[in-house]
């Protein structure tokens, strides 16, 4: 049944389909208009005995926190830290985020904390890759996991209690300059490098705004001439994103997931002339025991005799011929005709690639 559904789905999706137009915004994005990752190191307090206990860096972190308020703990103080845990805080700063806007943050334990449920994050600065602080985080954690442990050591854990989130738990303190309003030109970058797609996007922009406005720099980037000014460029970028452009047919690829047996073949795959046969050899061993009884009064002992029956069965499969340049639906139909399973299909495709008959990149995950 799985093989039949697979063949029907592939044949329906990857048959002879004409090229169609995509929105430019679905093919890529403008350079500089991107999100930025933020990270921070903080302390969660208020845990019900599920914290880091006496980890050295947890103690040092808490001493650093209380020192902000003028409280100095003795150097030899080693307080119990079961109600605190050191954590890493992560967030994503979207493009054009302005000071005062709120961000969702994720908090994950770094030490031995069993659960962060019920904890509160102390004010934590979030830094970007340049080391500058872009947001400040603080708040009560929402933890989806939980754990429980018995006195005999038995325990149960549901989901991940050592990770939590704080919706709108960070406040943006600094904006990231994109430079889109002052750069000499706008640069549109494709998600997938392709010279044909880059030329098609440039041609679509030139048809709308006039010849020479856009030119393909390489297989990824299209340079767009634009007048300075944020409002003018924002309007221009909005119109460009909603233009239609025809994406080129992707390169021929066969993707094989060796762990799950999943095989995905795109419509550009072709094969050269080849003859294929596939058979299956089955070895069966049956073990039987025979009880041997001694004759009466012979003072013999009952013995167990082991008997093995070994048989070999070879499933006969006819050879099929692949004509030059068949389409994907023809390949699937021919392979299904011999009753090949997904694992067998992988072996056939690898053999065709080695024989030089498969006109595609074979990628094994």
Looking at 6-15, 44-53, 128-137, 179-188, which range is the least confident one?
Answer: 6-15
Return the C-alpha torsion angle 237, 239, 241, 242, nearest 10. 170
Q: CB within 8 A of 183, min separation 6: which ones?
A: 32
Region of residue 259 (left: phi > 0; alpha: psi -120 to 50; beta: else): alpha
**Structural domain contains residue 15:** no
Domain end among 226, 246, 266: 246
Q: Are residues 168 and 40 in the same domain?
A: yes
Q: CB within 8 A of 180, min separation 6: which ones?
A: 30, 32, 33, 186, 230, 233, 237
Q: What is the pTM of this model?
A: 0.65
Top-confidence residue, 90 or 114: 90
Q: Are residues 60 and 145 in the same domain?
A: yes
> How many structural domains compose the chain?
3
**Structural domain contains residue 11:** no
Q: Are residues 40 and 137 in the same domain?
A: yes
Domain end among 231, 246, 261: 246
- Is the separation of the CB atoms in 211 and 225 below 8 Å? no
Per-residue pLDDT of 9-57, as tens digits, reads 444 444 444 456 788 889 998 888 888 999 999 889 888 888 777 767 6
Q: Are residues 41 and 164 in the same domain?
A: yes
Q: Are residues 239 and 276 in the same domain?
A: no
Q: In this predicted structure, what is the pLDDT of residue 300? A: 67
């Amino acid at each position: 049944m799985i093989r039949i559904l697979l063949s029907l789905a592939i044949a329906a999706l990857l048959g002879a389909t004409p090229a169609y137009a995509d929105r430019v915004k679905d093919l890529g994005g403008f350079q500089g208009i991107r999100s930025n990752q933020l990270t921070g190191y903080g302390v969660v307090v208020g845990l019900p005995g599920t914290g880091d206990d006496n980890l050295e860096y947890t103690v040092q972190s808490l001493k650093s926190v209380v020192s902000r308020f003028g409280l100095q703990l003795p150097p030899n103080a080693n307080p119990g830290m079961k109600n605190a845990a050191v954590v890493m805080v992560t967030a994503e700063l979207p493009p054009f985020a302005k000071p005062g806007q709120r961000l969702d943050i994720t908090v994950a334990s770094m030490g031995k904390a069993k659960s962060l449920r019920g904890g509160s994050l102390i004010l934590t600065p979030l830094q970007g890759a340049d080391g500058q602080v872009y947001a400040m985080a603080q708040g009560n954690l929402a933890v989806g996991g939980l754990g429980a442990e018995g006195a005999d050591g038995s325990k149960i854990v549901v989901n991940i209690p050592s990770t939590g989130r704080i919706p709108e738990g960070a406040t943006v303190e600094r904006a990231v300059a994109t430079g889109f309003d002052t750069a000499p030109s706008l640069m549109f970058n494709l998600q997938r490098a392709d010279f044909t797609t880059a030329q098609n996007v440039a041609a679509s922009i030139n048809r709308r705004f006039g010849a020479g406005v856009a030119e393909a720099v390489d297989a990824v980037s299209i340079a767009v001439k634009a007048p300075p000014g944020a409002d003018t460029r924002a309007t221009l970028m909005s119109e460009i994103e909603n233009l239609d452009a025809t994406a080129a047919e992707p390169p021929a690829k066969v993707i094989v997931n060796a762990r799950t047996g999943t095989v995905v073949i795109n419509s550009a795959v072709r094969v050269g002339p080849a003859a294929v046969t596939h058979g299956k050899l089955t070895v069966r061993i049956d073990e039987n025991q025979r009880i041997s009884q001694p004759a009466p009064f012979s003072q013999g002992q009952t013995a167990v005799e082991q008997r093995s029956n070994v048989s070999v069965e070879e499933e006969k499969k006819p050879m099929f011929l692949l004509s030059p340049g068949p389409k994907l639906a023809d390949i699937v139909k021919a392979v299904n005709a011999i009753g090949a399973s997904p694992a067998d299909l992988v072996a056939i495709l690898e053999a065709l690639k080695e024989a030089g008959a498969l006109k595609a990149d074979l990628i094994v995950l």
